[in-house]
Every structure is written in C-alpha cells, then in structure tokens.
Amino acid sequence: MVLIPAGPTTSAFYMDRYEVTNAQYRKFVQATGHRQPLYRNDFAYNQASQPVVGVSWHDATAYAKWAGKRLPTEAEWEFAARGGLVDKNFSWGDDESLARDYANYRGTGGKDRWDQSTAPVGSFKPNGYDLYDVAGNAQEWCQEDKDRHVLRGGAWYDGTYGLRVSFRDPYPLPDGRDSYGFRCVSGWE
C-alpha cells in the first residue's frame, strides 16, 4: 500500500499500489467460499497477475472487508489518481500523446500490447504517488455514491476520454463485466 497525503477534501489514507489481482482474489474465494468472478474461465482475463474483473460492487466490498480494508470514496480515488497533480486531465498530466506509457486502453502502441484484455498489473508507468493502472486496464469500484455504485478509471477497451481522471461510470451493470475491478484503501476519509 502507498500512503496518500491529505488533500483538500480527504484525510491521509493508504491505497493499494495495484488493482487487486486474480491471485489475490482467488485466496479470498478459497478462504470464504465467495462466488468466483464472472470471467474466471476466460484465459484472456484469468492470469494470476492480471486485475480481477467480472466482480460486482458487492464482491469488491466483500473482498475489501475480508482483507481488513474498504473501497475508496470517489474523492479519495480521484485525489490519489491525480498523483499530486492539480487540474490536469490525466494521471500523468495533460499530454494525451503519453497515454500509451501509462495506460492499457483501446488499440496498442508504446508499452501497450494488450488489445483484447487487461494487462498484468504494473505493466505501465505509475502516477506521482506510485500507483499503477489508475488510467485504463480495469475500471475501479468506489464506495456507494448517493445510492449508486460508481466506477472510476476507464478500461482496456476505452478511448483516451475514459482515461481522464474525472471520468466516472455512474450506471454500471450490477453483476460486473470484463472491465470491472477494484483496489482497496485503509484509513478513514
């Protein structure tokens, strides 16, 4: 975990450096008997070092509780994703041409060689707080917001618009899909 300093609307907290992986989630399933992710048998998403996908908000919340953590609030997620930058479009700044160095998203080029699935966590450069994959790869569940479950961060199939730090999906499918993952935090907002 990485210590994220206090921000304008958040207290200091710890956040997972990487999205929760298939290997980590399997330990949770084995220990608790919780349901498997929807894409557990699909080779494209099932490698140990890839982020777990196909998890619902309830699955992510159950894992976080089991791990002694919780899901981030939207404010925490966005502040951490910015990596110390202020008023920038992306987690690395405003230069969209650098996206292939920082994110797995639609198409390939640069460090991105995954066109049809998530990449192993940590395959791209981290942001200023040393967090990996806050743009692209798997969308990340946040705590409930006004009776809605929200995803942040864009996904492997999104264009660069989805990589923007401000991008949010307030209408996710309830049971998850091949881009729904998460990371956890500890400490209080």
Other CB atoms within a 10 A radius of the CB of residue 40 amount to: 16
Phi, psi of 181 (to 5 degrees): -130, -160
Could you tell me the pTM of the whole model?
A: 0.93
The 3-state DSSP class for residue 61 equals helix
Tell me the per-residue pLDDT of 82-92, one tens digit each, with 9 for 90 and over.
999 999 999 99
* Average predicted confidence (pLDDT) for the chain: 92
Contact 114, 100 (CB under 8 A): no
Other CB atoms within a 10 A radius of the CB of residue 15 amount to: 25
What strands lie across the sheet with 180-181, from one edge to the other? 168-169, 151-152, 139-141, 180-181
Between CA 140 and CA 73 the distance in angstroms is 11
Between CA 27 and CA 117 the distance in angstroms is 22
Domain of residue 84: give its range.
1-189
The reported pLDDT for the residue numbered 188 is 61
Cα 141 to chain centroid, rounded: 7
Distances (CA, A) of 174 to 60, 140, 148: 12, 14, 10
| 125 half-sphere exposure, CB direction, 13 A CA radius | 14
Tell me the per-residue pLDDT of 152-181, one tens digit each, with 9 for 90 and over.
999 999 999 999 999 998 878 887 888 999
The reported pLDDT for the residue numbered 144 is 77
CATH number at residue 77: 3.90.1580.10
Per-residue exposure over 81-103, b if at least 16 CB sit within 10 Å of its own CB, e if not: bbbebeebbbbbeeeeeebbebb
Contact 151, 140 (CB under 8 A): yes
Structural domains in the chain (count):
1
The reported pLDDT for the residue numbered 116 is 83
Tell me the per-residue pLDDT of 11-56, one tens digit each, with 9 for 90 and over.
999 999 999 999 999 999 999 999 999 876 677 778 999 999 999 9
DSSP string, 95-160: -GGGHHHH-B-SS-BTTB--SSSPPPTT-S---TTS---SSBSSEEE-S-BTTB--EES--TT--G
